[in-house]
Structure 1
Amino acid sequence: NVIILQTLCNITFDLSDEGTDKTVKDDAVHLRRSIGLLPSISFIIGTVVGSGIFIAPKGVLMNSGSVGLSLLVWALCGVLSTFGALCYAELGTSFRKSGGHYTYLLETLGPLPAFLQLWIDVCILLPAVATYVSLAFGQYVVEPLFMPCVAPTALVKIVSMLGVMNCWSVTLAARTQVLLTFIKMFALILIIIPGIMALVNGKTENFRNAFDSDSLSLTKLPLAFYSGLYAYGGWFYLNFITEEVINPNRTIPLAIVFSMVTVTVFYVLINVAYYTIMTANELLMSDAVAVTFASRALQGVAPAIPVLVALSCLGTLNGGFFSSPRMLFVGAREGHLPAIFSMIHIRRQTPLPAVLCLIFQLINFASFSRWLFIALATLGMIIHRYRFPDHPRPFKVPLAVVVIFTIVCFFIVGLSLYSDPWNTGGSCALTLSGVPVYYLTVKKSYIPERWKKAFSDLFRKDVSSAEKSVCCLTTYNPLNALHFYYSKPRFHSNRNIP
Structure 2
Amino acid sequence: MDKKEPEALNLKREISLIGGIALISGTMIGSGIFMSPQFVLSYVGSPGASLLIWTFSGVMSMLAALSYAELGTVIPESGGDFVYILRIYGPCPAFFAAFTFVLVVKPLGAAGMAMSIAEYVAAPFYSECSPPPLVVKCAAAFTILLVSIINVLNVRLAIRIQVIFLVAKVLALILIVVGGLVKMTQSTAMIVENLKVENAFTGTQFSLSTFGMAFFQGLWSYSGWYNLNNVIEELQRPEVRIGITHDKKL
Q: Which amino acid aligns with 1:192?
A: V
Query: How many angstroms apart in 2 are the aligned matches of 1:88 and 1:243?
Result: 15
| Structure 1 residue 171 corresponds to structure 2 residue 156 | yes
Counterpart among 213, 217, 222 of residue 206 in structure 2: 217
> Which residue matches 2:229?
239
Q: Which amino acid aligns with 2:212?
A: P
Cα distance per residue 1:145-202 (max 9 Å; x no partner): 2566744976654422221111111110010000011111111111000112333452
Query: How many angstroms apart in 2 are the aligned matches of 1:79 and 1:109?
Result: 27
Cα distance per residue 1:460-495 (max 9 Å; x no partner): xxxxxxxxxxxxxxxxxxxxxxxxxxxxxxx9x964
Q: Tell me how far 1:72 sits from its aligned partner.
A: 2.0
* Secondary structure of residue in 1 paired with 2:52: helix
Q: Tell me how far 1:76 sits from its aligned partner.
A: 1.9
> Which residue matches 2:38?
58
> Which residue matches 2:238?
248
What is the aligned-residue RMSD (CA, Å)? 2.8
Task: Decide which structure has the larger Cα Rg and report it.
Answer: 1
| Structure 1 residue 32 corresponds to structure 2 residue 22 | no
Query: How many angstroms apart in 2 are the aligned matches of 1:60 and 1:158?
Result: 29
Cα distance per residue 1:346-380 (max 9 Å; x no partner): xxxxxxxxxxxxxxxxxxxxxxxxxxxxxxxxxxx
**Structure 2 vs 1, CA of residues 119 and 53 (structure 1 numbering), >3 Å: closer, same or farther?**
same
> Which residue matches 1:206?
194
Q: Which amino acid aligns with 2:115?
A: L
> Which residue matches 1:46?
26
What percentage of residue pairs aligned between the two structures are identical?
34
Query: How many angstroms apart in 1 are the aligned matches of 2:224 and 2:36?
Result: 15
Q: Which moved more, 1:216-225 or 1:85-94?
A: 216-225
Are 2:12 and 2:234, in contact at CA under 8 Å, matched by a contact in 1? yes
> Which residue matches 2:181?
196
* Secondary structure of residue in 2 paired with 1:31: coil
| Structure 1 residue 111 corresponds to structure 2 residue 55 | no
* Secondary structure of residue in 1 paired with 2:231: helix
Highest RCO, 1 vs 2 (Cα 8 Å, sep ≥ 6): 2
Q: Tell me how far 1:28 sits from its aligned partner.
A: 5.8
Q: Which has the higher helix share?
A: 2
**Structure 2 vs 1, CA of residues 67 and 250 (structure 1 numbering), >3 Å: closer, same or farther?**
same
* Secondary structure of residue in 1 paired with 2:224: coil
Q: Which amino acid aligns with 1:162?
A: V
Q: Which amino acid aligns with 1:79?
A: V
Query: How many angstroms apart in 2 are the aligned matches of 1:195 and 1:90?
Result: 38
* Secondary structure of residue in 2 paired with 1:33: coil
> Which residue matches 1:369?
none
* Secondary structure of residue in 2 paired with 1:227: helix
Query: How many angstroms apart in 2 are the aligned matches of 1:251 and 1:235?
Result: 14
| Structure 1 residue 141 corresponds to structure 2 residue 121 | yes
Are 2:16 and 2:236, in contact at CA under 8 Å, matched by a contact in 1? yes
Query: How many angstroms apart in 1 are the aligned matches of 2:55 and 2:184?
Result: 19
Query: How many angstroms apart in 1 are the aligned matches of 2:106 and 2:137?
Result: 22
**Structure 2 vs 1, CA of residues 110 and 128 (structure 1 numbering), >3 Å: closer, same or farther?**
same
Are 1:94 and 1:394, in contact at CA under 8 Å, matched by a contact in 2? no
Q: Tell me how far 1:214 sits from its aligned partner.
A: 4.4
* Secondary structure of residue in 2 paired with 1:98: coil
Query: How many angstroms apart in 1 are the aligned matches of 2:181 and 2:117?
Result: 28
Q: Which moved more, 1:220-229 or 1:79-88?
A: 220-229
Query: How many angstroms apart in 2 are the aligned matches of 1:55 and 1:35?
Result: 30
- Name the TM-score, length of structure 1 as normaliser: 0.43
> Which residue matches 1:97?
77
> Which residue matches 1:451?
none
Q: Which amino acid aligns with 1:250?
A: V
Q: Which amino acid aligns with 2:146?
A: M
Are 1:45 and 1:181, in contact at CA under 8 Å, matched by a contact in 2? yes
Are 1:90 and 1:394, in contact at CA under 8 Å, matched by a contact in 2? no
Q: Tell me how far 1:138 sits from its aligned partner.
A: 2.5
Unaligned runs of 5+ in 2: none
Q: Which amino acid aligns with 2:194?
A: N
Query: How many angstroms apart in 1 are the aligned matches of 2:124 and 2:91?
Result: 48
Unaligned runs of 5+ in 1: 1-24, 254-392, 396-490
Q: Tell me how far 1:207 sits from its aligned partner.
A: 2.8
Query: How many angstroms apart in 1 are the aligned matches of 2:103 and 2:10?
Result: 26
**Structure 2 vs 1, CA of residues 195 and 128 (structure 1 numbering), >3 Å: closer, same or farther?**
same
Cα distance per residue 1:330-361 (max 9 Å; x no partner): xxxxxxxxxxxxxxxxxxxxxxxxxxxxxxxx
